[in-house]
Amino acid sequence: MHKNEVIDEIIAISHYIYLKNLVPGKSGNVSVRFKDDGTQKVAITRSGISKINVGKEDVIIIGTDGNVLEGNKKPSSETFLHLSIYKNRDDINGIVHGHPPYTTGFSMSDKPLKRLEGFDEIKNPFIPYVKYSPPGSDELANDTAEMMKKEDVVILKNHGLVAAGFNLEEAALLAEFIENVAKTQFISHTLNSSD
């Protein structure tokens, strides 16, 4: 994929996930790994912007070690988390991190979120939780990347979710799907516990 196509995809998906309420306020970030002149690079949203407002100048091109190659704004505070996931997974080229309300509600409870239909392969009956570390920390990045060696989606305890895919659209649709799984389970818990 050419760099300009990558940037256009990041803009389109940023707007999509905002409208789906996966990244409320200025939260959340997305990235794409791509090849440019034979070199692996990552395009990622900048920090401190609502995803509905992401335009060309808000997509920062970085090297796989995190150094900024193009763009004069600060890349997302979760940049190291994205890079750490890519490092372990050759099959992943797009990542979405968000704070959708139902999934994040589960992350703040002791209720496990069950997997429902829609997965190619059931690896685990529950979506795993990554133990809490502060947002943007190396611990959070390392723990998430370790768990995502075998998982395409994880829940960050007391924080939100991270979804990955072969491309960014796949990652976004997985995040959207998981938020709907969480909503469905919340509704079923509520209906089953009321009289």
Q: How far is the CB of 135 from Zn ion (least distance, A)?
A: 5
Q: Which is nearer to Zn ion, 71 or 135 (CB)?
A: 135
Q: How far is the CB of 195 from Zn ion (least distance, A)?
A: 37
**Cα 41 to Cα 32: distance, rounded to the nearest angstrom:** 8
Distances in Å between the Cα of 40 and the Cα atoms of 52, 53, 74, 93, 194 are 27, 27, 20, 11, 53
Q: Which is nearer to Zn ion, 100 or 165 (CB)?
A: 100
Beta strands (DSSP E) in 15-174 are: 29-36, 39-45, 59-63, 68-70, 94-98, 129-130, 153-156, 160-165
Q: Which is nearer to Zn ion, 93 or 107 (CB)?
A: 107
Token pair 């002791």 in the structure block, residue: 110
Q: Restricting to residues 8-67, which ones interact with Zn ion according to CB under 5 A?
A: none
Q: Which is nearer to Zn ion, 34 or 179 (CB)?
A: 179
Q: Restricting to residues 100-159, which ones interact with Zn ion according to CB under 5 A?
A: 135
Catalytic residue among 5, 9, 57, 78: 78
117 is a catalytic site residue: no
Please state whether beta strands 129-130 and 153-156 pair in parallel, antiparallel, or not at all (unpaired). parallel
What 3-state class would DSSP assign to 144? Answer: helix
Q: How far is the CB of 78 from Zn ion (least distance, A)?
A: 6
Q: How far is the CB of 91 from Zn ion (least distance, A)?
A: 24
Residues with catalytic function: 78
| Residues of this chain that bind Zn ion (CB under 5 A) | 135, 160
